Chains A and B, each alone.
Chain A
Amino acid sequence: MHRTTETAQKNLEAISTILHLSNFLPFPELLERVNTFNAAISRSASFLAEKVIYKASEAFEEGIQDDIVVTKDMIGGRLSDMLAAQAHNAESSTSRPGAVFLRIIFQIFILNFCVSEIDPCSVISVNDAGKHILY
Chain B
Amino acid sequence: MQASLPATTLRDFKISLVKKLASIFEVSSWALPGAENRAAFRMLLEPLFEAREALRIPMQQTFGPANMEVALVEPDMLFIDEYMEDAFASDLTPLDGTMLEKQTMPRRVVCAWGVGLKMKKESTGEPAVMRVLNVLRTPVVLESTLDSAMKEASPVKSLEALQAEDGRP
Residues of B near any A CB (own CB < 8 A): 1-7, 16-17, 20-34, 37, 40-41, 44-45, 47-48, 50-52, 54-56, 58-60, 62-63, 66, 68-75, 77-78, 80, 83, 85, 87-90, 110-121, 130, 132-139, 141, 145-146, 148-150, 152-156
> In the assembled complex, which residues on chain B have CB atoms less than 8 Å from the CB atom of A101?
146, 149-150, 152-153
25 A-B interface contacts by CB (under 8 A): A2-B89, A2-B90, A34-B115, A37-B52, A44-B45, A48-B32, A53-B33, A55-B30, A56-B29, A57-B29, A78-B75, A87-B27, A89-B154, A93-B155, A97-B28, A100-B149, A108-B113, A109-B20, A114-B52, A117-B52, A118-B59, A122-B70, A124-B83, A125-B74, A132-B132
The CB with the most chain A CB atoms within 10 A, among B16, B74, B78, is that of B74
Alpha-carbon distance between A87 and B45 when the two chains are bound, in angstroms: 26
Residues of A within 8 A of B (CB): 1-4, 7, 10-11, 14-15, 17-18, 21-22, 25, 27, 30-31, 33-34, 36-44, 47-48, 51-57, 59, 63-64, 66-68, 70-71, 73-76, 78-80, 82-84, 86-93, 95-102, 104-105, 107-120, 122-128, 130, 132, 134
Min Cβ gap A86→B in Å is 6
Q: Main SS of the interface on chain B?
A: mixed
Q: Is the CB of B155 within 8 A of A130?
A: no
Knowing A55-B29, A70-B20, say if A124 contacts B138 (CB, 8 Å): yes
Supposing A55-B30, A108-B111, A117-B4 touch, asked if A98 and B118 sit within 8 A by C-beta, the answer is no
Question: Once the chains bind, are A89 and B24 in contact (CB under 8 Å)?
Answer: no
| Chain A residue nearest in CB terms to B7 | A117
